[in-house]
Structure 1
Amino acid sequence: MNETVPTFTVDKETKYQEIFGFGAALTDSTALNIKNLSDTTTEVLLNTYFGKGGSNYLYLRVPMGSCDFSTRYYSYDDVQGDTEWEHFDLIDNDYQFKVPIIKRASELRGETIKLFATPWSAPWWMKINGTTKGIAHLDEQYYQPWANYFLKYFDAFARQNISFWGVNPQNEPSQGYTYASSIPVMGWSPEAYTGWVADYLGPTLEKGGYGSLKLMILDDNRMWLPNWVNTVLANDKTNKYSSGIAIHWYTDSSSSDVALRQAHEAQPEKFLMYTEACNLIRVTREDLGDWEIGERYANSMMQAFNNWVVGWTDWNMALNEDGGPATFNDNPTIWGYNAAIIVNATGDEFYKQPPYYFQAHYSMFVPPGSVHIQLTYPNPGGLLHVAFLTPEDNVVVILYNGNDQDIPTVISDPERGNISINVEARSINTVVYKTYFGEGGAQLLFLRIPMGASDFSLRPYTYDDIEGDVTLEHFALIDNDYDYKIPILNRATEIRGQELKLFTSPWSAPWWMKINGTTGISHLAEEYYQVWADYFVKYFDAYAQQGISFWGYSPQNEPIQGSDHAAKIISMGWTKESQTPWIADYLGPTMEKGGYGDLKMMILDDNRSRLPGWAETVFANPVAKSYVAGTAVHWYTDEGIRPSVLTQTHELDPNKFIFYTEACQTTKIVREDLGKWEIGERYGTSMIQAFNNWVVGWTDWNMAINEQGGPATFGYNAAIIVNATADEFYKQPPYYFQAHFSMFIPPDSKHVSLTSDNDGGLLNVAFLTPETDVVVILMNSQNVSVSVVISDQDRGYISVDVEARSINTIIYR
């Protein structure tokens, strides 16, 4: 490793704060701007924030009444003297805009959005100066009615089936206290605020059934830290009612981030959450796409999450092209701000600005429940940096380069090795990778189970070795199924969190059904064609009695063995001409009649050297073809047979899938071969060829074998080697090469095209996941590194240094 290159070492054991999530504010202006779009464009905008592939926002801050981004001043009861709140009511903007947006956001998110409310001002008649602006305090005679007002607000939304997660007693209490403001405000000193929360708001919320709301104090700039915290939370009652500290970003560039750490250290049980951020310069068309505004977010967010902050909510979700509508001095035309999304209602379109993308580098890849972890570095090289460990055991590293030069960088993980990345000038970069331990394992979904003995069994057997038992009365699973396989299947399903997709393959029918026994040239005797089909139903019934169902099956493992050549392992030969009518006239109808017609039948289950001919013969029989779902392929001749035969097979019938069902190194394992990289590279080559030629899935051969490569007829190799004597196992390169696919390409992902005028000698393949992640896998089997660019017309480009003899997975949204 080049010691002059900035190296960040991931320390997953040193953990800090848990992350709550990300969001923005639903102001009157935001709601109006969103609803000024067509229904179709409104849906696209909401998806951009809350839907799959969007920002993954979970939090919404909702002003309690008017704010500086309303079209007018109002409260929910402007009837002077109405201390009983008989006239309290939400306004049309709530019913027509905010409530529908909140409900749709929850639907798109797939869970209830976490709302928190913040008032800008009490009704004008409750304030000492009788106005909404200027130096304006709450009259003490209204301390209790103002607390009751909060209950009325939450009750009103509850009637719309909307509940809140949190509440702030006052937006920016310094406004209207330390200086006169031109927007709706109400000032509080920390001392007055403390007494009101302790004696009025806290008890009232608790008595009214809202004591579980997360009450966040301050809701103002961090320049007031830690003094505000030390004053307010020194009161035991206020401390009891308070859950966290809300912070705005406006003085971040002029105040030290040490104040955040000091606040945490003073009150470690209280969370810190940023609740407002925006650029205070009014947007102009020339400012659209202004990168510097996004960079300001990068600086503040890095500071925040490196100093115990648990969440971040932006200010307005959407403003118009004038930066509003906004209310300053009761004149909405004189001022406006900026936002992550700017709406052009006339054109029925919206523009995502750099702040949207800078925040999305966090919100899209750092889900709630993630934990901030340590990055250590001898020399950061001028990069701002932060790292997280997600609930799925992903490691997320965010790097921001505010310099005008690229900075080559290394991310080092003691368990995983190194990632080299060129952090381009003036860029933010998010690197996501998974560990291979615990819940972050290879994420296998499919398991292939031999139907009886295979070449990796202790002895040859079938489930009915009683000669002449054509009714299969003696059919029974063996102890190995009951004692080992079934418990492993059940536990694997629990760990996966969903039903595994099992498929089976027979190596041989019982010896007495065959022309010459179990090995060598051996065929099924035609008189047992129906009995052998019945045997399949018996097998599935036996497992069903154990609560285990199957996804698919193949009629025969490697039918060429025992047909074209004498096999030295348990086998049974078929020609494509003999197997086709057996499928059409016996196996297919029997499976359908037995209740297993929905299982995926895969023909061939042998090497691709037999393609496309085997499929052509089977598909030529329309009855046999009707029972077939796909073609199963083994990898053993991949190095000598061009992968285009897979595409040719696909073109015979695009509705029939192609699935690799067996791969392993057939050289017997020896201790010197442990960790042999070339074996992994063979997997990488075959898998990239396969998925670039219509293959939909891949299953390895043995999950684990011992240090002698067995027990087996012949010893082979495997992804995991077990040393039972030492009670340990060794993950080999094939494990990691396959995991580059299985861990990052979930089921229902789509293979997408990668085009290149010069691939630099790299094997490559790309996918689009159901969450609209793009996954690019690059393999460099050369002895020199190759610098490449991944270009996406919608997202820009990524520069990656693909090291010599390496496989690399890049994920972006």
Structure 2
Amino acid sequence: MLKFKLNMKKPLLFLSMLSVIWSGSALSSLPIKAAGPSVEVWMTRDNLSTALQRQGDIVFQQDSPGNQRTIDVNDFLKYQQMDGFGASMTDSSAWLISHQLSDSKRAEVMERLFGQSGIGLSMLRQTIGASDFNWEMYSYADTAWDWNLNNFSINRDKPYIIPMVKAALTKNPQIKVMASPWSAPGWMKSTGSMIGGYLNHDSYEVYAQYLRRFIQSYQSEGIPIYAITPQNEPLFNGSNEYPTMYMSVDDQTKFIRDHLGPALRGSGLQTKIIAYDHNYDQYAYPRDVLNNAAAASYIAGSAFHHYGGDVTAMTTLHNLHPNKDIWFTEGGFGSWNDGFKNQIREMINVTRNWSKSYILWNIALDQNNGPSLLSNSINYGMLRIRSDAQDQVTYNNQYYAMGHLSKFVVPGAYRVDTNTYANSLDNVAFQNPDGSKVLVVANSENQNQTFKARWGNQSFTYTIPAGSALTFKWYGETTRDVISLKASANGKFVAAEDGGNSPLIANRDAVGGAWESFERINLGIGNYAFKSMANGRFVAAENAGASPLIARSGSIGTWETFQVASVSGGVTLRAAAKSQFVSADNAGASPLIANRSTASGWETFQISVH
């Protein structure tokens, strides 16, 4: 696939030559094109004075050179395919929606959460038995030493949890339901309680069957279970108030490999098994589980939370196990980390780091941040539904931050490439199955910022208010100025060898695909950048021009800027890095390098427009 990024991190210094225009087959002036696709614009301000409100549409125009910050949207380069965005219909959330809202208000809330006119949540993470946000502690097999699970039952979930999940599925049939246990039944554990301890080794098989029975029981209620994790936060064992269970790397590996995987597969269940389900800072845990080939054969990927470490851990794990997927399964917000700017930036950066999902914690909590088993809950729900009054609903920051993604990015969308300005203009882009494109931009600064969004040869400029987020959505097909270069030195086409990982060299007899193709980007005043179609990276005169040209830069600066001039027989490329001409050295047998103070045969190239 292709990867394009743009970030004007360094000024364009090489402006000494007069402006030139392309003419003939090699050089031609860029045509003036009519306005491009119309773009929807939706905005939320940090103080929610504007909250996911549609602004006036704008229109793509023919791109022109400029020096403002530029977000380059490249829908040719696709990353992970999204499962969706959602939250947890905990016992607390389901009870509040079911019991504290009238029928009409409940219908309104469910539409705003899951419906097309609302924010279209497309994932639910359900607890398997009790979590910290429950009225009481329970499992589905509380009869001690019931090794055959004769008394297994999900009846505790039937009065309001299952009905609320089914109501969500009715609103949005695309919803994927994931599930995680906070603890095995107490009698299976070292403590004899759902609080703390670890799973006894002689309970591995019965616990695997317990999870299998949960999946089958929920599916018999009309709720397919898309994925399951063996344990929520397996490295946490410190609470004395709510269910927890420690599960080491070795224990989880053995449990999945020898018990859970065979139990689900042997029953014909297609439910995915996802490892870990804990914080970024211990990413070595899922790495090591996945390093066991037998366990990994049952595992779809890994799940993460945000309560420790850095979001880039997901990319680190992806690079180690690129054939395994990644999900973000719990993002709790409360008194310690609330704030719209913080939330939208996190959601953007989670998806930029290979996660197929972003799942918040509780859908709804009350005015006391409950109901909860915690004596002092500091968590906030997406919604606040008062438990001391009827139909009193407040939509919190999380709702609007989530809506900037969930309302526009549907299951099956692919994240596509953009460059970002971290902690300033964070952004992420997607392409939906219907071809529509979505760009989400967050301004973390305390002042307005003007930026350009460029999509192929078209762009628009927009000013984003301080502390705000924008979602842009449009349809259409991009157009790009794609060219190939042929060296006069040997009559061969220049290739970004090894998919762009090796220096450029003129060694191809024909243009066979992406390796010999480059997007030409007009920077003005005769300056151009070239982006390899092989990897979406900009060609750079590395080491200030002292090293061979290679396509591995994610932004445009001096090293990525070339002055192009028409000469007899073609064009010359002069690197701004040190004002030297690019040469197909050694009559084209060596990689291209910007090392010549004058231009002759080896420094001449022909440009073909695709």
TM-score (norm 2): 0.65
* Residue matched to 2:318: 264
Secondary structure, aligned partner of 2:339: helix
Structure 1 residue aligned with 2:366: 320
Aligned to 1:231: 288
Matched residues, percent identical? Answer: 28
Task: Give 1:229 shift.
Answer: 2.1
**Cα distance in 2, alignment partners of residues 180 and 434 from structure 1:** 50
2:352 matches 1:306: yes
Contact 2:102 2:390 in 1 (8 A): no
CA distance in 2, matches of 1:161, 1:13: 38
CA distance in 1, matches of 2:423, 2:139: 51
- The CA deviation at 1:335 is 2.6
Q: Report how many residues are paired.
A: 414
Asked whether the 8 Å contact 1:8–1:380 carries over to 2, the reply is no
Considering Cα pairs closer than 8 Å and 6+ residues apart, tell me whether 1 or 2 has the greater RCO: 2
Given residue 149 of structure 1, which amino acid in structure 2 is its aligned partner?
Y
Query: SS of 1:158's equivalent?
Result: helix
Q: For residue 172 of structure 1, report the CA deviation from its aligned partner.
A: 0.4
* 2:79 paired residue number: 16
Of 17, 29, 32, the residue aligned with 2:92 is: 29
Q: 2:178 aligns with which of 94, 113, 116?
A: 116
Q: Secondary structure at the match of 2:346?
A: helix
Q: Is the 8 A contact 2:174 2:411 kept in 1?
A: no
1:317, distance to aligned residue in structure 2 (A)? 0.7
Post-superposition offset of 1:299 = 2.3
* 1:528-586: CA deviation from partner (whole Å, max 9, x where unpaired): xxxxxxxxxxxxxxxxxxxxxxxxxxxxxxxxxxxxxxxxxxxxxxxxxxxxxxxxxxx
Are the counterparts in 2 of residues 409 and 420 from structure 1 also a CA contact under 8 Å? yes
> Matched residue of 1:362: which SS?
helix
Q: Which residue of 2 aligns with 1:588?
A: none
Task: Kindly report which structure 2 residues correspond to 1:33-44, keeping only aligned pairs within 5 A, or say none.
Answer: 33-36=96-99, 37-44=101-108
* Structure 2 residue 432 is matched with structure 1 residue 369: no
Q: Which residue of 2 aligns with 1:354?
A: 397
Distance 1:155 1:373 in 2: 36
Q: Deviations over 1:689-743 (max 9, x none)?
A: xxxxxxxxxxxxxxxxxxxxxxxxxxxxxxxxxxxxxxxxxxxxxxxxxxxxxxx
Matching residue of 1:47: 111
What SS does structure 1 have at the residue aligned with 2:120? Answer: coil
1:174 aligns with one of 235, 241, 244: 235
- What's the offset of the Cα at 1:168? 0.7
Q: CA deviation at 1:183?
A: 2.2
CA-to-aligned-CA distance 1:242-265 (integer Å, 9 cap, x gap): 0021111222xxx23331111101
Name the structure 2 match of 1:148. Answer: 209
Give the CA deviation at 1:380: 7.3
CA distance in 2, matches of 1:69, 1:321: 14
Residue 181 of structure 1: how far off its partner (Å): 5.2
How has the CA–CA distance of structure 1 residues 112 and 418 changed in structure 2, closer, same or farther, with 3 Å as cutoff?
A: closer
Please report the TM-score for the alignment, with normalisation by the length of structure 1.
0.49
2:452 pairs with 1:410: yes
Aligned to 1:64: 128
What corresponds to 1:278 in structure 2? Answer: 332
Distance across 2 between alignment mates of 1:79 and 1:381: 52
| Deviation of 1:81 (Å) | 0.8
| SS at 1:348 equivalent | coil
Deviations 1:187-212 (A, max 9, x none): 011111111110011111111222x1
**Structure with higher helix content:** 1
3-state SS of 2:450 partner: strand
Give SS of 2:73's match.
strand
Listed as ranges, the gaps of 5+ residues in structure 2 are 1-63, 480-610
Question: What does residue 638 of structure 1 align with?
Answer: none
| Aligned AA (1:132) | M
Alpha-carbon distance in structure 2 between the residues aligned to 1:335 and 1:58 = 27
Instruction: State the one-letter code of the partner of 1:128.
Output: S
For 1:237 and 1:16, locate their aligned partners in 2 and report how far apart those are by CA, in whole Å. Answer: 27
1:330-352 Cα shifts (integer Å, max 9, x gaps): xxx53341011110240412111
Find out whether 1:139 has 2:200 as its counterpart: yes
**d(CA) in 2 for partners of 1:16 and 1:218?**
22
Match of 1:199 in 2: 258
Tell me, yes or no, if structure 1 residue 242 matches structure 2 residue 299: yes
1:423-448 superposed Cα distances (whole Å, 9 cap, x missing partner): 1100111111222479xxxxxxxxxx
Q: CA deviation at 1:309?
A: 1.1
Following superposition, the deviation at residue 4 of structure 1 comes to 3.9
2:478 and 2:439 map into 1 onto residues whose CA distance is 19
**C-alpha separation in 2, matches of 1:418 and 1:159:** 51
- Measured in 2, the distance between the counterparts of 1:98 and 1:343 equals 16
SS at match of 1:129: coil
User: Deviations for 1:211-252, whole angstroms, at most 9, x for unmatched residues?
Assistant: x11111111111111x1122101111210110021111222x
Counterparts of 1:280 and 1:316, CA distance in 2:
11
* Distance in 2 separating the partners of 1:413 and 1:265: 27
Task: Report if the CA contact (8 A) 1:6-1:381 is conserved.
Answer: no
Going from structure 1 to structure 2, the CA distance change for 1:376 and 1:118 (only over 3 Å counts) comes to closer
Query: Does 1:423 find its partner at 2:464?
Result: yes
